[in-house]
Structure 1
Amino acid sequence: MSSWRLNKIYFEHTSDTIAIVNDRGKILYVNPSFERVSGYDKEEIEGKSIDTLRSGRVFIDAYWNNVRKLNEDRNLFRKVFVDKKKSGNYFYLDTKVILYLSTSTGDRNYILIGTDITDVLDQTQRIELLEVELEKANQTLGTILYRSSHDLRAPITTIQGVLNLARADVKDDKLLSYLDMIVQSTSRLDSLLIDLRKLSRIHSNRFPAQEINFEELVKGILEDLSRFVPINNINVVVDVKVSRKHRYSKYLLSRILRNLIDNACRYRYERSSEQHTVTIIIEDVEGMIQLFIEDNGRGIKDEAQERLFEMFYKAEAVSNRNGLGLHIVKTAIEKLNGQIEFSSTFKKGTKVKVTLP
């Protein structure tokens, strides 16, 4: 009797979960215990990716960090895997991952022998394991987000350079109009990638605190915004009432203020008798910093206000905006353990309040 048939007899009758996975994460075999614990039938899971268990990232992390190092001398790796059943509930497998090299082809396969420890773990231990896996997933997502936004900007920058050269040489008005449309589209894409990098940086980094000069910070933001928004035509009122020294991440604070001030300046409501006004108040209240940014601009419709901080949500179909600005603001505020409140009336204006401990 072949070794595989002997092993399969053991696999079919053991109370341990058994799964065989190839080097690409494809599930080749699961035993009855695996079906019972996971809730999946063999037909539903064999031949599928390990992602079927919604733990593919865990497997890949384990592979690159540990499993890839397995060889004939060191062919065992052990880990507690946090997976999801077909029902959506979590289950926890204390798993031995054993390297199995095919003698005929040399392919690397892995035998995952798991003991269901779900009932053994108390609630605290389960939460700790979930937090570890969530942190790994967040780190991976942050890396993917950063690398994709970084690597995509290089060819876009090249395209923009070529477009500028072409626009200088082309004389045909129709062709120039086409080139202008391409320039606008690439600029929007470049802006999106820049904002994705900012979001990735906020999620994945810890930022050192430093003493903040609020007057200088706001002045620098307004000077920078003046390159994109006609601030000279806006009545900007700045009132800083901070007597104590406060330490925050300058990067995060700049992201918050810049995006909020940008919105307040940009979304004006044209009136014949009233100038567009943006009021920026920063004050020290009981040891906390409160930021107020108020404008008499277009305001926000009631139906849009609940979704303002969602990624890619745009309250208005403005072509040159990507819907990430307020999401970045909210993420940066949460990083500083702060809170944001806003009130807005359509065609009358918006007031935003940010409180930072």
Structure 2
Amino acid sequence: MSSWRLNKIFFEHTSDTIAIVNNRGKILYVNPSFEQVSGYRKDEIEGKSIDALRSDKAFTDAYWENIKGLNGSRNSFRKVFVNKKKNGNYFYLDTKVILYLSTAAGNRNYISIGRDITNILEQTQRIGLLEVELKKSNQTLDTLLYKSSHDLRSPITTIQGLLNLARTDLKDDKLLSYLDMMVQSTSRLDSLLMDLRKLSSIHTNRFSVEEINFEELIGGILEDLSRFIPVDDINVVIHVKVFRKHCYSKYLLSRILRNLIDNACRYRYERNEEKHTVVIRIEEVEGKLQFYIEDNGRGIKEDAQERLFEMFYKAEAVSNRNGLGLHIARAAVEKLRGQIELSSKYNKGTKVKVTLP
């Protein structure tokens, strides 16, 4: 059996398109896959010039320009060709063209082996368009989030000021109790708006980096938290084992550490024999920076742990928090291209691990 007959058997059964063209552009052979992809029958295309197809000028120019470059030392090229079917629809072939027969008389034949990637490219283009639309939607949402949280804080602050003034003038205990409840409610709303603004800032801003002094950063966070939590009543243990310079966004690191330390200090579990303890450990592990925030507090029930990083999710229904602390921490970690993991045992404590590159 001749080599051509063997080749033809393969050509007839492969899913790749096969076309053999001579140096004058005459199509000598196409296989069934080429017929299926292009929409042309063999009798419509074999013996015709490749330029006679319903192809764009860009295709024919690209084909002939690359063909000219083939010689004894460079006998093939690969290119994605955009062509037209018989019905006028475009199709895309990832094509390898090989100079497979060249004679002394100057006659040349070229074999083109192509894979139809039309569906793949169309899907990629659709995904690209969806990504563009999603990015626009996220930008719009972030802008709305930032603007609304910023603009709403002004009237809230005004209301808080008026409530404080009213408290100084009123003597009625019942009215004062109502005012206190109003102050607490506006304070929670103000805290929510501030957290939404932080979240928007993390998503939209680019942050400058600087060398971080971890002891100083943690000390500042604990001092700030002492205004809201009796930190002095907590056994806070700090271990920093960092031996080289680390540069990160101080803002993002502060958001991560503050929210995690706040949770560890706040959700205590009162034991008669054991003081509430929070361990903060920062160390270098295999070229990466790792934070561990661990406490012996109330812990988190297992069925709630999967949702802890969701926006507005609160593991405790009675909690007066807004459910954004861990969500903000994760957003900041992801902005730094890091990872955050949480493990907890109810009534035993919680451990959070953050790894940063």
Q: Please, what TM-score do these two structures have when normalized by structure 2?
A: 0.66
SS of residue in 1 equivalent to 2:317: coil
Partner of 1:278: 278
Partner of 1:231: 231
Deviations 1:132-170, CA, capped at 9 Å, x for gaps: 211111110000000011111000000000000000110
Distance 1:123 1:252 in 2: 36
Deviations 1:328-349, CA, capped at 9 Å, x for gaps: 0111111111111111111110
User: Structure 1: which 5+ runs fail to align?
Assistant: 1-117
Distance 1:280 1:259 in 2: 13
SS of residue in 2 equivalent to 1:207: coil
Q: Does 1:342 align with 2:342?
A: yes
Q: By how many angstroms is 1:129 displaced?
A: 1.9
Distance 1:271 1:130 in 2: 53
Distance 1:339 1:200 in 2: 20
- Identify if the C-alpha distance between structure 1 residues 344 and 319 changes in structure 2 by more than 3 Å, giving closer, same or farther: closer
Q: Does 1:144 align with 2:136?
A: no
Q: How does 1:1-357 map to 2 (within 5 A)?
A: 122-357=122-357
Partner of 2:46: none
Deviations 1:151-202, CA, capped at 9 Å, x for gaps: 1100000000000000011000001011111011000000000000000101
Q: By how many angstroms is 1:320 displaced?
A: 2.5
1:193 is matched by which residue type in structure 2? L
Deviations 1:113-143, CA, capped at 9 Å, x for gaps: xxxxx97953332222222211111110000
Give the percent of matched residue pairs that are identical in Structure 1 and Structure 2.
79
1:242 is matched by which residue type in structure 2? V
Q: What is the aligned-residue RMSD (CA, Å)?
A: 1.4
SS of residue in 1 equivalent to 2:353: strand
Distance 1:267 1:299 in 2: 8
Distance 1:318 1:223 in 2: 27
Deviations 1:1-47, CA, capped at 9 Å, x for gaps: xxxxxxxxxxxxxxxxxxxxxxxxxxxxxxxxxxxxxxxxxxxxxxx
SS of residue in 2 equivalent to 1:122: helix
Distance 1:298 1:174 in 2: 35
Distance 1:317 1:180 in 2: 22
Q: Please, what TM-score do these two structures have when normalized by structure 1?
A: 0.66
User: Structure 2: which 5+ runs fail to align?
Assistant: 1-117
Distance 1:307 1:298 in 2: 17
Q: By how many angstroms is 1:244 displaced?
A: 1.0
Distance 2:164 2:205 in 1: 35
1:335 is matched by which residue type in structure 2? K
2:270 is matched by which residue type in structure 1? E
SS of residue in 1 equivalent to 2:299: coil
Distance 2:313 2:292 in 1: 23
1:180 is matched by which residue type in structure 2? D
1:232 is matched by which residue type in structure 2? D
1:249 is matched by which residue type in structure 2? S
Distance 2:145 2:325 in 1: 16
SS of residue in 1 equivalent to 2:307: coil
Larger gyration radius, structure 1 or structure 2: 2
Q: By how many angstroms is 1:264 displaced?
A: 0.2
Misfit runs of 4+, over 3 Å? 118-121
Count of aligned pairs between the two proteins = 240
SS of residue in 1 equivalent to 2:347: coil
Deviations 1:44-102, CA, capped at 9 Å, x for gaps: xxxxxxxxxxxxxxxxxxxxxxxxxxxxxxxxxxxxxxxxxxxxxxxxxxxxxxxxxxx
